[in-house]
Amino acid sequence: MRTSLPRHLAPALLVVMWSSGFVGATFAAPVAPAITTLLWRYVVAAPLMLLIVLVLRRRYGQRYLRREAVLGILGQAGYLYGVFRAVEAGLPAGTAALLASLQPALVAVVLSGFGQRGGRRQAAGLAVGFVGVALAVGPDAVAGTGSEGALWALAGMLSLSAAAVLGDLWPAPDEEHDVLDSLAVQGVVALAFFTVVAFAGGQAAPPADRSFWLAVVWLVGLAFLGGYGMYLYVLRTRGPVAVSTWLYLTPAVSAAWAWAMFGERLPLLTVVGFAVSLAGVLVTRPSGARNEHTKDPGRSREPATAP
């Protein structure tokens, strides 16, 4: 019973906190390039996670570090870099959301090639969820689409998909590690990646603006620790297709964040799209959690990545 409530609340927390990244990005966009914001997100997050694991005296073997480094490059650095480059290339947010919503179907198809079958119910749920995303993003999904931005968005989606699939298929070492350990190791890897990219582009220096630091705190607390932490937990307890499918709800919830924080309009079609996507998620959702994960999430196979 002690683990039942967190496991049931985790998908909802994932959707809300993953979507909160939109708010942090909006705070920082007027005063700093995207790569600067990403760098300083990890400048704050990675040492914090390192301090925690050092205090807890966590120890990691080379096999674990190699595995988590690969997953961190794919799921954090690759995904975020692709998404932010797409936005900088002028890709509308609706188009980016629609392209990202191809991920659940792609993950399901790839895993089916390794013998993990989903059946007609899963296929129907994925299709309904995609329709819901298309409704939620509305006309933005087809307006002003540039090829460069679309390619960057697809690259980010493929990177996150690869991390989800690889984390499920790549056996973890027989060590007791949990979400905290994944956040720490992958955060350090992402910090190294964005440090190289930011300094290479001359965009490492933070602006002297309070809104930038508000954005960094927001992105670390809600988007990284909350959103990415919940992504790892749901992936661990429910599997890669399930966690990817819950992300169908993030475009509509991001619109709700924009309405609440910035007074932007919340179209009725977005609300309808959310309801349709939720129906697709519920149809896709299996009757129970993954057997090998529900007994002891802390000792299950290490998951892959998110925002």
pLDDT > 80? residue 293: no
302 within domain boundaries:
no
By C-alpha distance, which of 127, 125, 149, 129 is closest to 137? 129
pLDDT at 141: 66
By C-alpha distance, which of 129, 75, 79 is closest to 104? 129
DSSP class per residue in 251-289: HHHHHHHHHHHH-----HHHHHHHHHHHHHHHHHS-SS-
- The total number of structural domains in the chain stands at 1
303 within domain boundaries:
no
306 within domain boundaries:
no
95 within domain boundaries:
yes
Query: pLDDT of 113-156, one tens digit each?
Result: 776 666 778 888 889 988 988 888 887 666 555 678 889 989 99
pLDDT at 146: 65
pLDDT at 204: 96
Domain span including residue 273: 4-289
Q: Are 107 and 241 in contact (CB under 8 A)?
A: yes
296 within domain boundaries:
no
> What's the mean pLDDT when you consider all of the chain?
84
pLDDT > 50? residue 291: no
By C-alpha distance, which of 197, 228, 186, 181 is closest to 39? 197
Sign of CA dihedral 277, 279, 282, 285: negative
Query: pLDDT of 214-260, one tens digit each?
Result: 999 999 999 999 999 999 999 888 888 888 899 999 989 988 998 89
257 within domain boundaries:
yes
Other Cβ atoms less than 10 A from the Cβ of 67: the count is 23
147 within domain boundaries:
yes
Q: Residue 207 is encoded by which pair of tokens?
A: 């602006």
105 within domain boundaries:
yes
pTM of the model: 0.84
Determine the 3-state secondary structure of 32 from DSSP.
coil
pLDDT at 112: 80
